[in-house]
Amino acid sequence: MNYSFIINDFEGPLDLLLHLVKTSKMDIYDIKVEVITKQYLDFISKMEELNLDVASEYLVMASELIELKSRMLLPREKMGEDDEYEEDPRENLVNRMLEFAKYKEMIETFKEMESDRKEIFTKVQDDLSEYKKEIENNGDITLTDLLNALNEFLKEKEDEKPKQTKITKKELSVTDRTIDIRNILKNKKKVSFFELFEVKTREYVVVTFLSILEMAKKGEIDIKQSNNFNEITVNLRGENND
């Protein structure tokens, strides 16, 4: 066999054995111990000829293979009345190789997942701190109150989604949505905070919420709640709310 690889190409003696079994096209459950031992020892010898340090674990495996080869030459004895033979001497080695192969396959899977993950780019969470002070001074509603209320509202509406929905692609900006909200408040004077979220798509909800925060920051609107758990209302600042 032509050895075009070195010890460092393998993750240990079991990895080397798996390679030899594969290149020899052997059935891992029926390893030809004499053949595989010769190939393994030839490989170790070749590495030593190249003045490469052979790790002790490879030498330990070499001794195990030699012992296994000797045991395979001995006749197998029957165990008793059931005419069962003693355990196959190769079984322990085969199990170890299968276990190693399983973990090696898992490692390759994780590497692929890691590689795929590197192709995914996430957006940094928006910093809403600039709105917080403005909202907290606007009546008795805080940014946290609005976020909690919106979260509860969306949870309630989740079960109300129609089973089949036709979605039309439409670009929506904070500027456009702010104009829409301003017109709604001019017509209705005062509305429920949740009335402004007519469409439940992710993009619409996010743009609407950011528009409300921007208007509150600029002092265009008042956001109020008379008591905890009561309705949150929105109106243009300075408008008559009666």
- For 115-153, what is each residue's pLDDT tens digit? 877 777 666 666 666 555 555 444 557 777 778 777 877
The average pLDDT across 77-88 equals: 61
Q: What is the pLDDT of residue 131?
A: 56
When mean pLDDT is compared across 99-108, 158-167, 205-214, 216-225, the lowest value belongs to 158-167
Phi then psi dihedrals of residue 36, to 5 deg? -65, -35
For residue 20, the 8-state DSSP code is: H
- For 6-50, what is each residue's pLDDT tens digit? 666 788 888 889 989 988 888 888 888 899 899 989 888 888 777
Cα–Cα distance for residue pair 89/68, rounded to 1 Å? 7
Q: What is the pLDDT of residue 178?
A: 92
Strand duo 190-192 + 221-224: pairing: unpaired
The band of 167, judged by pLDDT with boundaries at 50, 70 and 90, is very low
Q: What is the dihedral of CA 161, 163, 169, 170, to 10 degrees?
A: -20
CATH label, 129-236, candidates 1.20.1630.10, 1.20.1290.10, 1.10.10.580, 3.30.930.10: 1.10.10.580
The band of 5, judged by pLDDT with boundaries at 50, 70 and 90, is low
Q: What is the pLDDT of residue 223?
A: 85
Q: What is the pLDDT of residue 158?
A: 63
The band of 159, judged by pLDDT with boundaries at 50, 70 and 90, is low
According to DSSP, the residues that pair with 192 across neighbouring strands are 233
Cα–Cα distance for residue pair 16/97, rounded to 1 Å? 10
Q: Which residue has the tokens 């020899």?
A: 24
Q: Which residue has the higher pLDDT, 230 or 78?
A: 230
Q: What is the pLDDT of residue 189?
A: 81
According to DSSP, the residues that pair with 233 across neighbouring strands are 192, 224
The average pLDDT across 183-206 equals: 85
First to last CA, the chain: 95
DSSP symbols for 56-122:
HHHHHHHHHHHHHHHHHHSPPPB-STT-PBPPPTTHHHHHHHHHHHHHHHHHHHHHHHHHHHTT---
Q: List the beta strands (DSSP E) in the chain.
A: 190-192, 221-224, 233-236
Cα–Cα distance for residue pair 132/126, rounded to 1 Å? 13
- For 83-95, what is each residue's pLDDT tens digit? 555 677 888 889 9
3 state DSSP class of 221? strand
Distances (CA, A) of 236 to 155, 176, 196, 212: 28, 17, 13, 11
Position 101 pLDDT exceeds 80: yes
Q: Which residue has the higher pLDDT, 53 or 108?
A: 108
Considering only CA atoms, give the Rg of the chain: 36
The average pLDDT across 178-205 equals: 86
Query: Domain-by-domain residue ranges, the chain?
Result: 7-117, 129-236
